[in-house]
Structure 1
Amino acid sequence: MEEEKKAEKRDNKNDQRIWSWGAGTEGQLGTNKLQDEHLPQLIHQPSLSSVSDLACGGAHVIALTSGGKVMSWGRGNSGQLGHGEVVSNSLYPKIVTSLNAYFITHVSAGWSHSAFVSDSGCLFTCGDGSFGQLGHGDYTSHCTPLKVSFFANQHVAQVACGMRHSLVLLKDGSQNQVYGFGSGKRGQLGVSKDKIKSINLPQVISAFEDAEIVQIAANGDHSASLSVDGHLYTWGRGFKGFEDVHSPQCLNSSLNFSKATLGWNHALALTGEGEVYMLGGNHLGVLSDHQSINRPKQIPVDFREANLEKVPGLDGIKIADIATGSEHSIIVTGKM
């Protein structure tokens, strides 16, 4: 009897299921329907039983399996699904067959483009390229993932897709470099103090010459990175009430962060002690701090420090992970 219980526990552990809900008119829920869902719906696809990571874009989803395979579904009008053709939408997950020869370890989804990193450090991109966000040296869109030749002899560790721009974290021996490409009108590329409309080839962000970056993030017209010693850098469109920042600025804080995520109007930062802080807007309650919301509006002397606030209502709770959507946030709690 005891052995049967153990076997049942193992089966339950291996019985991974994926659920989706919300806007679904582009097929992004993977339910084989073009409709919104107000409650979580089980995606009935056996191929999703071993998913290790998910990336959600404007209206498409990329799934990465533990075996290094990639599937995608949802809106495909710009080729962002990578299936070799432009489609209005895909109602269920389909394997990106052109990547089958590679073991993919990291994926990212922008508004209408996608990016994939292999275990050998190769970068592939597809989808809308009209702002140069694919990094191929042109403004052409591609419906099949194409290797970014700029990094042919280098090792890409991470990629992050924003609305119309992309960031790449390059592992170069003991030093990591960050590159930006695509739309730069709000400073989100971080490659120049002057305004840049767009660039179509990766350009290094020189502000990190003295910092070892271990994580990058992008969403909307925002960009962020974390250094190995826990310093948070942000650049791009200014959070509500503040000017755009055209080069990475280190947050003036004594806190050490372990992860950062970006929404359209806010950012979350997780400390090594399991506390969550927020930068940016309180629109739609993403801050949930009524005192902050009703506080008289004024521009502080050092807004980057004053605008960082601990998310209220979490005292005594250790946070294990964080995630942000365009205008919402999610936290995963752990034991203290």
Structure 2
Amino acid sequence: MEVPREAPAQALFTWGANSYGQLGLGHREDVFLPQVLKGFLCNRETVKNITGGGGHSAVLTDTGELFLCGQNKNGQLGLGHTEDVTHFKLCSSLCGCSVIQVACGWDFTIILAGSGQVFSCGSNSFGQLGISQTSEGSTVSKRIESLQEKVVNVAAGLRHALAVTENGSVFQWGIGMSSQAKRACQGEMVPSFLRARQPCKVTGLEDARVKIVASGSSHATALTDEGELYVWGNNKHKQLVNKDDFVLKPQKIDAHYFGGEKVRRVWNGWTHMVAQTEKVFLGGKTRSYIGVWPQRNPCGVNSSVSGVDCVWTTLLQFPGPCSRSSPALFPGPRHGFRHGPCSCSSLLVALNQALFAKNLVCSPALHQAPWTKGPCHFPSLCLAKCVFRLLDYNFGL
């Protein structure tokens, strides 16, 4: 008789830059090797999502609890004060609301509750909280009351945020993109949604039903339920597949760039974009691959990918044995997390501008991991810019 295998114990690993205690280890020293966050998952449910901003991190459990740590100068942790926190703390300012998604901007946080309500905290210097016409920030999570419709998805950039409503409409707030738009598009009218300090409906998507939004530092993408991809914002590195340096309104990327296939997922890096059909396409500024579309995974292998998510950068896989059922998650920027069975010996590391694909090491020039003494094209792990998560991925090697 076959004996059921015991499920591996869960563990959360963290490493990288730690100037503000964003790794949750209780200190501010940079960490060059993955370290387990001891006791963090004790008596708690599975980690659902991890993400990070300029210097803060957020962990969301599948029971809807939200934990944060790191830089808190502007109250971006939503804990009611502005002191940095070096251990993950439960956000108690949500009044018992169950959280289903969290998006971290540079110095602010956007929180989506199961009820469809959206909350925000942190800096509001550019109206990125969407709560008022003033620049006053908030140290506790405040509801964005002007979002009257039920919201199903959110995203955050450097100084702006996005939300998708149940009927497929997209709203944007925060004026971080407007100054770039004015410089790049002199003489043209800047759309109101790029100048809004409160949620403003994004025009140009009237014929589309959007289900997911993603944001880079100063560009945005919207994926429809028909698998069509719309893009707008800063296009200095041609990450939006457009000749203009700034795309003022949403423009649909023609399907021929994706081999005629529908887009299933999309992720935005700081200045680049990754789109997934049955293959992976990369565009924008990367260390080795710049603005060439369609650009399949750099190794030239048509391998399928599932469950990768990033805000600031993409991923690189270092091969090694690992449980096929292992989930893993990563945030940043400048720091990383890994969530999965503590018995797993393979290391998945966040490195700026490296593309993660199944069974691939997509940077052939990178011969050894950055924490070793061997040659490496990246200065150090703690310099990797990363804000991303990885969920439900099978690491069959």
TM-score of Structure 1 vs Structure 2, range by shorter chain: 0.7 to 0.9
CA contact (8 A) 1:168 1:178 kept: yes
Gaps in structure 1 of 5+ consecutive residues: 288-292, 294-302
> What is the distance in 2 between the residues matched to 1:332 and 1:92?
32
The verdict on how the C-alpha distance between 1:36 and 1:66 changes in structure 2, with shifts beyond 3 A counting, is same
Give the match's secondary structure for 2:174: strand
Larger strand fraction of residues: 1
The verdict on how the C-alpha distance between 1:104 and 1:329 changes in structure 2, with shifts beyond 3 A counting, is farther
2:17 corresponds to = 23
Q: Which of 70, 73, 82 is residue 78 of structure 2 equivalent to?
A: 82
> What is the distance in 1 between the residues matched to 2:269 and 2:121?
22
CA contact (8 A) 2:10 2:41 kept: no
Larger helix fraction of residues: 1
> CA offset at residue 320 of structure 1?
1.5
> CA offset at residue 330 of structure 1?
5.0
1:38 corresponds to = 32
> CA offset at residue 100 of structure 1?
4.7
Write out per-residue CA displacement over residues 113-138 of structure 1, whole angstroms, 9 at most, x where no aligned residue.
00111111111000010100111122
2:115 corresponds to = 120
2:129 corresponds to = 134
How is 1:135-284 mapped onto 2 (pairs within 5 angstroms)? 135-138=130-133, 139-151=135-147, 153-171=148-166, 175-183=167-175, 184-185=177-178, 186-187=180-181, 193-194=189-190, 198-240=195-237, 242-253=244-255, 254-271=260-277, 273=278, 275-282=279-286, 284=287
The verdict on how the C-alpha distance between 1:217 and 1:235 changes in structure 2, with shifts beyond 3 A counting, is same
Gaps in structure 2 of 5+ consecutive residues: 183-187, 239-243, 314-351, 359-393
AA of the residue aligned to 1:23: A
> What is the distance in 2 between the residues matched to 1:11 and 1:240?
45
Write out per-residue CA displacement over residues 199-221 of structure 1, whole angstroms, 9 at most, x where no aligned residue.
21111012111001011001211
1:331 corresponds to = 356
Give the match's secondary structure for 2:146: helix
1:56 corresponds to = 52
TM normalised by structure 2 equals 0.71
> CA offset at residue 314 of structure 1?
4.9
> What is the distance in 2 between the residues matched to 1:281 and 1:252?
20
> What is the distance in 1 between the residues matched to 2:117 and 2:282?
33
Spell out structure 1 runs of 4+ moving beyond 6 A.
Answer: none
Give the number of the structure with larger relative contact order, counting CA–CA contacts within 8 Å between residues 6 or more apart. Answer: 2
Q: Which of 66, 87, 93 is residue 88 of structure 2 equivalent to?
A: 93
CA contact (8 A) 2:203 2:250 kept: no
The verdict on how the C-alpha distance between 1:277 and 1:200 changes in structure 2, with shifts beyond 3 A counting, is same
Write out per-residue CA displacement over residues 91-131 of structure 1, whole angstroms, 9 at most, x where no aligned residue.
11000011251111111100000011111111100001010
Q: Which of 303, 310, 316 is residue 317 of structure 1 equivalent to?
A: 303
CA contact (8 A) 1:27 1:74 kept: yes
> What is the distance in 2 between the residues matched to 1:309 and 1:246?
24
The verdict on how the C-alpha distance between 1:165 and 1:113 changes in structure 2, with shifts beyond 3 A counting, is same
